[in-house]
């Protein structure tokens, strides 16, 4: 049952990386769009893309925390006691980001809208960086087991955590830009299609460079993860790289639907490859999944709750995204058309 719980947990992490990651990445492009006049067009595409669905993406994060503290309480204690600084920063960033996104559309003065827009954009970079740094601290073995607190500074300010944070920002930017190419095409805005296409290609190249440089960082700073990635996780890493190359080719050939799917595949395989490389440790190399697991009765309750969520909640989330992609929902902050 411990393996089942670990798989459920990792499904939640992967879901948050794909959906929440694209959401945060859109904020990155908001940050780099330029001034009020020059950045108006890309920001409108961003708002129309994430407006109807940005709140639901954090459902994955809540799910991950619930499964972690319920099924793996010892690991949860160690992680939160050790990494409370980046976790607090991430939580603050999520709150500020959501509030700023809402307020900047409700205000009339340009100065106030610009200020809240800056908070939204900066928080969109802070949050994925913190989560990447957290993953790096865990993967490099800096979180002790037994529900004990580790070093609150070195646990997330270290070479592997910096690599994880930078890679998270690059990957979310790449994923978001690829999605935004499709959204701009859906809105029949050829100028913005080209705008985000160039940025998707650039983000993919930068992410590839960071990942390549990361090999040397992991070899020196996170040996267990490096060994896992170069053995059992290697096929997944190779497939991820191939998906990234396919995405670049499709973007240059104006095949935006295929590019979106291959971009999802590239990110999905990276996250899964990390999980496979770290298996079967929750905290390398001190706490295994089996030793960290709660009693089987508790895990069974989580499994039943997960099945109920799949039956009752996931179809509703799927319908929300389908309606959003087909333009059947009002975009938050975008004026409704009026009859004349």
Interstrand relation of 287-288 and 281-283 (parallel, antiparallel or unpaired) = antiparallel
Quick one: residue 294, left, alpha or beta (phi over 0 = left, psi -120 to 50 = alpha)? beta
Q: How close are the terminal C-alpha atoms of the chain, in Å?
A: 62
Comparing CA positions, the residue from 287, 247, 240, 242 lying closest to residue 263 is: 247
Q: What residues pair up with 287 in beta bridges, in sequence order? A: 283
pLDDT tens, per residue, the chain with 340 residues: 889 999 999 999 998 888 888 888 888 898 888 877 888 888 888 877 775 556 677 788 889 999 999 999 999 999 999 999 999 999 999 988 888 877 776 665 667 777 888 888 899 899 999 999 999 999 999 999 887 888 999 999 999 999 999 999 999 999 989 988 888 887 777 889 899 999 999 999 999 999 999 999 999 999 999 999 999 999 999 999 999 999 989 988 876 678 888 999 999 999 999 999 999 899 998 899 999 999 999 999 999 999 998 888 878 777 777 776 666 666 544 444 444 4
Helix, strand or coil, per DSSP, at residue 281: strand
- Give residue 340's pLDDT: 40
- CB contact burial 173-206 (16+ within 10 A = b; e otherwise): bbbbbbbbbbbbbbeebeebbebbbebbbebbeb
* Distance separating alpha carbons of residues 75 and 126, to the nearest angstrom: 24
Do 232 and 149 contact (CB within 8 A), yes or no? no
- Domains, the chain, ordered by start: 2-324 (1.20.1630.10)
């Amino acid at each position: 049952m411990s393996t089942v719980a670990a798989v459920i947990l990792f499904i939640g992490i992967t879901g948050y990386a794909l959906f929440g990651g694209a959401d945060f990445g859109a904020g990155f492009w908001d940050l780099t769009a330029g001034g009020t006049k020059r950045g108006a067009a890309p920001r409108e595409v961003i708002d129309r893309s994430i407006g109807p669905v940005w709140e639901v993406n954090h459902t994955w994060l809540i799910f991950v925390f619930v499964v972690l503290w319920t099924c793996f309480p010892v690991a949860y204690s160690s992680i939160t006691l050790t990494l409370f600084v980046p976790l607090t920063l991430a939580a603050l960033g999520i709150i500020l980001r959501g509030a700023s996104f809402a307020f900047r559309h409700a205000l009339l003065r340009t100065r106030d809208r610009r200020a809240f827009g800056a908070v939204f954009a900066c928080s969109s970079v802070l949050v994925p960086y913190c989560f990447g740094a957290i993953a790096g601290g865990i993967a490099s073995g800096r979180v002790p087991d037994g529900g004990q607190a580790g070093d609150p500074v070195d646990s997330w300010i270290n070479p592997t955590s910096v690599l994880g944070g930078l890679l998270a920002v690059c990957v979310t930017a790449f994923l978001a830009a690829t999605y935004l190419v499709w959204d701009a095409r859906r809105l029949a805005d050829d100028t913005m299609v080209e705008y985000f296409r160039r940025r998707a290609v650039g983000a993919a190249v930068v992410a590839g460079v960071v990942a390549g440089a990361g090999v040397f960082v992991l070899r020196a700073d996170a040996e267990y993860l490096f060994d896992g990635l170069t053995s059992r996780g290697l096929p997944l890493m190779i497939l991820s790289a191939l998906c990234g190359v396919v995405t670049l080719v499709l973007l240059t050939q104006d095949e935006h639907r295929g590019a979106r799917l291959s971009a999802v595949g590239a990110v999905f395989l990276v996250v899964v490859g990390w999980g496979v490389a770290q298996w079967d440790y929750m905290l390398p190399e001190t706490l295994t999944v089996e030793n960290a697991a709660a009693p089987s009765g508790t895990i069974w309750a989580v499994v039943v709750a997960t099945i109920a969520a799949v039956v009752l909640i996931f179809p509703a989330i799927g319908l929300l995204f389908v309606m959003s992609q087909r333009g059947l929902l009002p975009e938050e902050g975008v004026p409704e058309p009026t009859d004349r």
